[in-house]
Amino acid sequence: MIIRKLFKFENAHIVRGCTSKRCKYSLHGHSYKVEILFKSSYLDNGQMIYDFGLMKSTIKDLIDSFDHATTLWDKDDPRYIKDIKKYSKRWITLPVSPSAEQFVRVIYLMIDKLLSQTVMKNGENEVSLYSVIVHETDTGYAQGFYEDAYSKRMGEIDLKDIHFSEEIKKEWRDPLMWKKLLNGELFINPESL
């Protein structure tokens, strides 16, 4: 069975090297919708695959990091990157260009790692990330799966090369969340009451 949770964020970017002149030469924004799909052949003690309420903490913080932020490709013009960081408190740098396709891969990798480091406490069994869908517009989206997220042909993504501004980190429930994720520390789901 597959379950789906929808998240939303507003984000600005430039997609260098794309065909559209508006997109590759001008900073612009989108109202993104992100669908996270989990799968399992088992139900937990609450007869669910994974309680949607559990997605309102660390997963939500990771995705909400992109809200009202500018996402930068770390290979872009250093002067542009410096100016964005100077005049914007909310920014993220990625080791890949911030296209919808690469947003899918980045978000997939972050949530897949988080899920692998999560201690389940309510009988969740063999829950895995099935897919991530990123809607850049109402009419266009990208969808990715495990093989896409980890594809070397699409450009390697090392989570250590993703950097969040201090302002973004301050808004997380746990300001050390990213450091813990990168260090392989465990995230423990709450006990069922």
What the block records as the tokens of 82 is: 């410096």
Catalytic residue (choose from 101, 124, 135, 136): 136
Tokens of 105: 């891969």
| Residue 12: band (very low, low, confident or very high) from pLDDT cuts 50, 70, 90 | very high
The one-letter amino acid at 73: W
CB 130, CB 37: distance < 8 Å: yes
Count of beta carbons in the 10 Å neighbourhood of residue 131: 19
pTM of the model: 0.97
Q: For the chain, which domains are there?
A: 2-188 (3.30.479.10)
Alpha helices in the chain (DSSP H): 21-25, 58-64, 78-87, 100-116, 146-149, 166-171, 177-182
| pLDDT at res. 70 | 98
Given the residues 23, 30, 35, 163, select the one marked as catalytic: 23
Q: What is the pLDDT of residue 92?
A: 98
136 in catalytic set: yes
pLDDT band at 11 (very low <50, low <70, confident <90, very high): very high
What's the pLDDT tens digit per position in 108-126?
999 999 999 999 999 999 9
For the chain, how many helices (H) and strands (E)?
Answer: 7, 9
Structure tokens, 15: 């997609």
Average pLDDT on 2-18 reads 97
Give yes or no: 18 in active site. Answer: no
**166 catalytic residue (yes or no):** no
Which entry of 30, 35, 68, 163 is annotated as an active-site residue?
68
Which two tokens mark 123? 């009988």
